Amino acid sequence: MNNDSAIAPILAQRLDLKEKYVHNVIELLEDGATIPFISRYRKEVTGGMNEVQVAAVMDGLEGMKELEQRRDFILSAIEAQGHLTDELRQRIVQCWDATTLEDIYLPYKQKRRTRAQVAREAGLEPMANIIQSQRDLAPLEKTALRYLNPEKGIETAEQVIAGAQDIIAERVSEDERARQSLRYTFAHHAVIESRVVKGKDAEGQNFRSYFEWNEPLPRCSSHRLLAMRRGQQEGILRLNIHVDDEAAIERIARLFVRGRGESSRLVHQSVEDGYRRLLEPSISAEAASEAKRRADEEAIRIFARNLEQLLMAPPLGQKRVLAIDPGFRTGCKVVCLNAQGDLLHHDVIYPHPPRNERVQAMMTMQRLVEKYRIEAISIGNGTAGRETEDFVRHLDLPNHIEIYSVSEDGASIYSASEIAREEFPDEDVTVRGAVSIGRRLMDPLAELVKIDPSSIGVGQYQKDVNQPALKRSLDQTVVSCVSRVGVNVNTASPWLLTYVSGLGPALAQRIVQHRSAHGPFASREALKQVPRLGAKAFEQSAGFLRIPDSENPLDNSAVHPERYKLVEQMARDCDCSVADFIRSSEKRKKIDLNRYITDEVGLPTLNDILAELEKPSRDPRQPLREFSFAPDVHSLDDLRIGQILPGIVTNITRFGAFVDVGIHTQGLIHVSQMANRYVQDPTTVLSLGQHLRVRVLEVDKPRERLSLSLRDVPSEKS
């Protein structure tokens, strides 16, 4: 990177990080290191930056690269016009702000033939200079007569002055000071207004809250802005972002108008014209774009946080599972899976209307549970989910069998996907969907990586935000979660391996092919035998891959192979084997870490190693807890104000959280009802999949809406 020395200090200042650590992260990224690897295994050179900070440096670095490319283009474009002076070149080269760079370029930017351009072609620029100088050395009409140009249609002094004013108006609109002044006004004082399009009242009931709406743009939350923009795209709403025009014009006029003479009056008119016709529309569009960018960032942050919680949901583990994809008319699809998630059997039962084959369904279920020695039952939470759960809970099943309701979001996407067809080429979509519901219970992370993250249903307005930015953020989230949990390289699917740091689809597929051809990997070192898995890929991925049955116990830990010799030295110093060193906390407590500090290894890494050896290959996810809804609640008709119910958080947005209380309508806990204090960010209070006790606040049957509260809810013990 040709400007690395300039980029590091700028990023450090913007991100409030130390320059030397930012410089080191940039070098690691440029060398092909991944975010999980850097944050986990290079703490000494990053000052202990976490994944969020490393990702911010990476995003900033890529933004700087794009800015450099744009800067090079601008330099070439202005030079080709013959307008590139040494001073201008220096300004452009030293500019690291995209908005300022575009302001510098604006006067030289190729644009459609404007009124000002027509006036320049008619030779009126000298007249514009005379007016803008505001000296009034001679009557302007008399001066204007010198610039008549009948061939260009300029036949009167009035036309000369009007053309000159067009030039001044364009100058005002392209002036950096004027643009920055108006940007400041929009940033602090803009108002967003939303009005219903005439005749769209009935069609746009989903947006009726915004039929007559206005608020300061800086205070407009991301979900409201995205909702209004969706209404605009659907032709229901008309949006307008504006400021006090008269006040803004006067502020800008002070930059250009000097005195009270005739030319000063004309300049003021030009300022107003330039503002209304050129400058205000441009900055208003900028403000709308910036507001959308901020709304996207906030929405994507919540999407990523929700996805992280979903992926890190507690796993049941390797148990034999019976999974049910519920349904009424088409029946309930039932599959039986072994402890590895392999499909053993599938069937269909009809315990609900219209067929009501309840007795036969009971007999089928009991037979399958016994035959396949089922240990847990996973039930999809979609249509007929609650009814199916009630049916299963009333079966005479062994006491050890646990029953869980599992989110179906994205299951239909998976069942029709190429991945599902590859896994189950001989089964239809209903069987594949049921298998996914069962596997989600066993290991949510391993199963959900097969689905496009934006299809899992982890937020609102997924389709309205910047799609490349959303995909990038969600993909990074998946990689982060996979890295934290670790992957058993001998059992992982190629789709799970794809998200391991340093691998990707091609290497993941080669690992699986090598495993199929040569058997399980005996050690991490054996991974080097995989074709095209070179030193860099091994370095980046090895610490996140696990081999439980390896002779070297460190292969089943998060200790990186580059630190094996260090652990072996610690074990020798304790006069024991590595295995004994891992088993004995007493031996590890005797270690003086200061003895092992080198130029490459400091206390952060040494502390990480000992923490990992305390519980090698520990799954960071919480243990799974069984949950059941209130047995007497099945619909809105069963609810009453003040009623306390158990519920599960299914989605979190900027304005609140949606909770499943066992009916077909999701209840909303507005952010104002989350605590007896002000809550700015719902994700700091609640997490996806969290078990709650909620109070019924309002039941709106006509609109099928349910409002819930966490305030003043007595504890379960009380």
Sign of the dihedral defined by the CA atoms of residues 308, 313, 318, 324, in that order? negative
Percent over 90 (pLDDT), the chain:
81
Provide the residue type at 531 as one letter: P
Other residues' Cβ atoms within 10 Å of the Cβ of residue 263: 22
Give the pLDDT mean for 626-637. Answer: 88
Banded model confidence at residue 717, pLDDT cuts 50, 70, 90:
low
CA distance 56 to 252: 36
CA distance 157 to 143: 8
For residue 702, pLDDT over 50 is answered with: yes
587-626 confidence digits (pLDDT tens) = 999 899 999 999 889 999 999 999 999 988 788 888 888 8
Residue 264 CB partners (closer than 8 Å, separation 6+): 134, 257, 258
* Number of residues that make up the chain: 718
Backbone angles phi, psi at 516, to 5 degrees: -70, -35
For residue 518, pLDDT over 70 is answered with: yes
DSSP 8-state secondary structure symbol assigned to residue 94: T
Give the pLDDT mean for 658-664. Answer: 90
What does the pLDDT read at residue 162? 96
Sign of the dihedral defined by the CA atoms of residues 597, 599, 605, 609, in that order? negative
CA distance 563 to 82: 59
Bridge partners of 191? Answer: 216, 242
564-583 confidence digits (pLDDT tens) = 999 999 999 999 999 999 99
Decide: 323 and 402 in contact? Cβ < 8 Å: no
Which one, of 366, 414, 403, lies nearest residue 381 by Cα? 403
Tokens representing 444 are: 């949510």
Pairing status of strand 656-660 against strand 667-670: antiparallel
For domain 4-108, the CATH class is: mainly alpha
Banded model confidence at residue 1, pLDDT cuts 50, 70, 90:
very low
Element (H, E) at 287: helix 280-311
DSSP 8-state secondary structure symbol assigned to residue 635: S
CA distance 275 to 242: 12
Question: 456 burial class (0-12, 13-18, 19+ CB within 10 angstroms)?
Answer: buried
CA distance 68 to 75: 10
For residue 442, pLDDT over 60 is answered with: yes
107-138 confidence digits (pLDDT tens) = 999 888 899 999 999 999 999 999 999 998 88
Q: Note the pTM of the prediction, 2 decimals.
A: 0.86
Residue 273 CB partners (closer than 8 Å, separation 6+): 165, 166, 169
Tokens representing 146 are: 């010198």
CA geometry: angle 467, 10, 35, nearest 5 deg: 50
For residue 69, pLDDT over 90 is answered with: yes
- Classified as helix, coil or strand, 708 is strand
Task: Assign 3-class secondary structure to 517-561.
Answer: HHCCCCCCHHHHHCCCCCHHHHHHHHHHEECCCCCCHHHHCCCCH
For residue 459, pLDDT over 70 is answered with: no
Residue 540 CB partners (closer than 8 Å, separation 6+): 32, 33, 34, 37, 501, 502
Residue 58 CB partners (closer than 8 Å, separation 6+): 25, 29, 35
Decide: 116 and 89 in contact? Cβ < 8 Å: no
Residue 284 CB partners (closer than 8 Å, separation 6+): 186, 190, 241, 242
CATH fold label, 321-442: Nucleotidyltransferase; domain 5 (3.30.420)
483-515 confidence digits (pLDDT tens) = 999 999 999 999 999 999 999 999 999 999 999
543-571 confidence digits (pLDDT tens) = 999 999 999 999 999 999 999 999 999 99
Which one, of 574, 569, 577, 576, lies nearest residue 553 by Cα? 577
CA distance 717 to 375: 29
Helix ranges, 547-630 (H): 564-573, 578-583, 585-589, 603-614
For domain 498-614, the CATH class is: mainly alpha
Region at 532 (left for phi over 0; alpha for psi -120 to 50; beta for the rest): left
CA distance 639 to 697: 10
180-194 confidence digits (pLDDT tens) = 999 999 999 999 999
What does the pLDDT read at residue 457? 67
What does the pLDDT read at residue 596? 94
DSSP string, 442-494: H-HHHHHTTS-GGGS--SS-TTTS-HHHHHHHHHHHHHHHHHHH-EETTT--H
Give the pLDDT mean for 627-631. Answer: 88
| CATH 3.40.50.970 for the 115-302 domain, yes or no | no
For residue 375, pLDDT over 60 is answered with: yes
Give rounded-to-5 percent helix, strand, coil for the chain. 55, 10, 35
Q: What dotted CATH number matches 636-709?
A: 2.40.50.140
Other residues' Cβ atoms within 10 Å of the Cβ of residue 53: 21
What does the pLDDT read at residue 206? 87
For the chain, the structural domain boundaries read 4-108, 115-302, 321-442, 498-614, 636-709
Bridge partners of 657? Answer: 652, 669
Sheet harboring 191-196: ordered strands across? 212-216, 191-196, 237-242
CA distance 132 to 107: 17
- Classified as helix, coil or strand, 439 is helix
- The overall average pLDDT reported for the chain is 93
382-407 confidence digits (pLDDT tens) = 899 999 999 999 999 999 999 999 98
Backbone angles phi, psi at 546, to 5 degrees: -120, 145
Residue with tokens 């450090």: 12
Give the pLDDT mean for 135-145. Answer: 90
What does the pLDDT read at residue 703? 83
Banded model confidence at residue 3, pLDDT cuts 50, 70, 90:
low
CA distance 558 to 487: 10
Give the pLDDT mean for 265-271. Answer: 97
Give the pLDDT mean for 17-36. Answer: 96
